[in-house]
Structure 1
């Protein structure tokens, strides 16, 4: 779906009290180009992420995606029932969801 050199742009919510720079989802086919924080309140902000596809999707990455999908399914209920401040900088569910969407986006080349 995403062509080589194609860009994926999305907002990523964070808590202002934590370090924004170190907690973004990662994928072996993608490279973060730029992040830009928007601060709508003193407690929360959102970061606009611009990510570019730098590597083709391989069978090895596909296998890793299957494992991540399974982990997401198994942990979905656990993550949604956790207290709001679950990890530094962001909600664990949001991280898992972003990773899942990235894997889905890349697996259909």
Structure 2
């Protein structure tokens, strides 16, 4: 299964890709107006990669960023699934922080 995750609800945007062979890729950037150019490029790439699932972070955070991420995901999905996920549930954490 090929999975693309997109998070734009915070001051730093991020995306992650997990390919069928288990290879992964992640990128993050300062969330600003230049994101639209990046999303256009991402849409071109995903047309060729054809993700089976696109996961979008739903915040809490920037309502505008969340709307942009959802709209971008809708534009990129062809026959795959589209899933919204609370961003706070996907935050990186260290198991030792929670004894």
TM beyond 0.5: no
Rg larger for? 1
Structure 2-normalised TM-score?
Answer: 0.29
Highest relative contact order (Cα 8 Å, sep 6+), 1 or 2? 1
